[in-house]
Amino acid sequence: MARESNAMDKRRSLATSQERASSTPPPSRDEGIALAKRAAAGDVRSTSLLLEAVAPAILRAVCAMMGRHHPDVDDAAQLALIGFIQALPRFRGECDPVHFAMRIAIRTAGATRRRSRSRQDHHDDQVDIEDIQGPADGPYAVLRRRAVLRLVDQLPEEQAETMLLRFVFGWKLQDIAQATGAPFNTVRSRLRLAKDALLRQIERDPALAEAVALDEE
């Protein structure tokens, strides 16, 4: 009962942030960067406004990684919000704070999924593949996300992050380079290595192989 009550409280908190964000025009990139700098300096009002701005993106990213009905999705979203605030002093203003927050959410959700898999003896029945959120980019979208998410835990963190941002969230390579602070060619290399690993994993399944046959640009 206590766990259910805590989950409900967390969901209400996230829902409140989303409702406020939906009723307020999102800040521009420059406005968001300015908010992040003031929040990093300890300004309470800026911190509140920044959280309202990034909360919907964080929740979307966590749901994309875990599925809306995963029992730990609310915990992961809360941890991602906390991690975002804690990481603000390291934010250099080179990308939109929303993108910075999504990277943290992806890593947090990935770590939560790994812990969940470990508790369930490496078998996570709570992830509903049909419920995974992502861009609707064709008939193989679900198959692609299935293959990508199963591979994520086996990849180095930089490759996994690049693959998720590209294949699950549909980011352009230029945006990934800007958000991660990595050179464009490094991003291309990470994506190629991750994609090669994915294709090796699914080479015996032609349908999945076709599902991930994306252009790198």
Give the tens place of pLDDT for each residue, 35-79. Answer: 999 999 999 999 999 999 999 999 999 988 888 888 899 999 999
Q: What is the mean pLDDT of the chain?
A: 78
Reduced to 3 states (helix: H, G, I; strand: E, B; else coil), residue 16 is helix
Mean pLDDT of 128-133: 39
Q: What is the pTM of this model?
A: 0.69
* Band (131; pLDDT cuts 50, 70, 90): very low
pLDDT of residue 90: 93
Sign of the CA dihedral running 27, 30, 33, 39? negative
Q: Contact at 8 Å (CB) between 58 and 83?
A: no
Residue 11 has pLDDT above 50, yes or no: yes
pLDDT, average across residues 7-12: 50
CATH class assigned to 134-217? mainly alpha
Question: CA-CA distance, 39 to 46, in Å (whole number)?
Answer: 5
**83-123 pLDDT, tens digit each:** 999 999 999 998 999 999 999 999 999 888 878 766 654 44
* Domain boundaries defined on the chain: 1-133, 134-217
pLDDT in tens, 167-189: 878 899 999 999 888 999 999 99
What is the rounded distance in angstroms from the CA atom of residue 112 to the CA atom of residue 118? 10
pLDDT at 81 over 60: yes
What size, in residues, is the chain? 217
For the domain made up of 1-133, the CATH class stated in words is mainly alpha
